[in-house]
């Protein structure tokens, strides 16, 4: 990781109000640590001890070899807080993708609760053995809560995206969620958590796009909904509920489908096309995406070049979230193809 990379990510953080606690003084640091310990105790007391069933298997009907979908990352990718496999983001995206592609989709969930970006190396090792056509990565929250330096965390994500794309796998990264919506976190830690998580999301966007992937902003999509609707949380008030995971899957599915060439063009009618105002230098695109719900960012070209005077070009796109299969439909799609989706 170069100094230029680090400087760009730090500048992106400043673009939307990022900051640290270094200037706050010892008293504030002590307060923040106590608030963090109190929030952790509340979450752990209510949290689910076990991951939901993986839902690994084949979804949908149709001819042809199944599209292999790998899901990597942390508890958000696992679906911790959901009780059934059918409520997890991997199963929902797999079932939706099978319907759009009119082909079976084989889901391989490699994500682990508690994972940090450094754990992606092992997950990618396993994913490559499955020869996935597309991978979804959801990571970053644990790096924020552990205060892993952003360049270190994002460096691991960069390596993961590069390894997957080098193997011919499309990559969609659901960026770090907005931790400022977590109810057990008191002020002023909540405000700082929001800044840290958005800084992480913006840095992840830059890294993933430059490494050949694309990103979808989950934090700013789920943040307002979570803040106003308690049903989006599970009982631990930290992880999403089934409704929360459905919202995340609805935002991810269009980008996953587009990455493998099965997103229908008619679904984007009425959206802004590739115009000057939607293409920006990737650092500016990342800062904007961190604050706009469900924004997809991917590499772009201007005048036949992928790079301009301020770095690589990136396209921001706001797709309409698609209607997701209900848990019952997801279970039926899986059982029809013999997938073990119970739980």
Residues involved in catalysis: 75, 236, 239
Please state the separation of Cα 33 from the chain's center in Å. Answer: 27
Residue holding tokens 């193809």?
337
Q: Side-chain half-sphere of 85: how many Cα atoms within 13 Å?
A: 23
- Omega before residue 164 within 30° of 0, cis: no
Q: How far is CA 20 from CA 5, 149, 186, 189, 246, in A?
A: 19, 11, 17, 11, 33
Q: Which residues contact 253 (CB under 8 A, 6 or more apart)?
A: 92, 93, 96, 97, 100, 321, 322, 324
As a whole number of Å, the CA-based R_g of the chain is 19
Tokens of 16: 């939307």
């Amino acid at each position: 990781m170069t100094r230029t990379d680090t400087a760009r990510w730090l500048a992106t953080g400043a673009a939307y109000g990022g900051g640290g606690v270094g200037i706050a003084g010892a008293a504030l640091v002590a307060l923040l640590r106590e608030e963090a310990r109190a929030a952790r105790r509340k979450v752990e007391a209510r949290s689910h001890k076990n991951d939901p069933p993986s839902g690994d298997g084949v979804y949908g009907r149709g001819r042809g070899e199944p599209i292999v979908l790998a899901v990597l990352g942390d508890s958000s990718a696992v679906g911790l807080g959901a009780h059934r496999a059918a409520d997890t983001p991997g199963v929902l995206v797999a079932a939706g993708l099978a319907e759009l592609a009119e082909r079976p989709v084989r889901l391989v969930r490699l994500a682990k609760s508690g994972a940090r970006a450094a754990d992606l190396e092992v997950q990618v090792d396993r994913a490559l053995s499955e020869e996935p056509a597309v991978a979804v990565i959801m990571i970053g929250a644990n790096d924020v809560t552990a205060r892993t330096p952003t360049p270190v965390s994002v460096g691991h994500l960069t390596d993961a995206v590069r390894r997957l794309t080098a193997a011919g796998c499309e990559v969609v990264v659901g960026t770090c969620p907005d931790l400022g919506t977590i109810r057990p976190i008191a002020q002023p830690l909540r405000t700082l958590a929001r800044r840290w998580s958005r800084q992480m999301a913006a840095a992840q966007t830059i890294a993933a796009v430059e490494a050949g992937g694309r990103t979808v902003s989950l934090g700013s999509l789920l943040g307002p909904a979570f803040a106003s609707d308690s049903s989006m949380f599970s009982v631990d008030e930290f992880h999403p509920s089934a409704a929360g995971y459905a919202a995340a899957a609805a935002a991810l599915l269009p980008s996953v489908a587009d990455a493998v060439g099965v997103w229908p063009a008619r679904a984007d009618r009425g959206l802004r096309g590739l115009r000057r105002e939607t293409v920006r230098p990737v650092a500016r695109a990342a800062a904007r995406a961190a604050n706009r719900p469900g924004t997809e960012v991917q590499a772009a070209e201007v005048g036949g070049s992928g790079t301009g005077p301020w770095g690589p070009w990136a396209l921001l796109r706001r797709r309409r979230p698609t209607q997701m299969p209900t848990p019952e439909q997801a279970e039926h799609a899986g059982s029809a193809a013999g997938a073990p989706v119970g739980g």
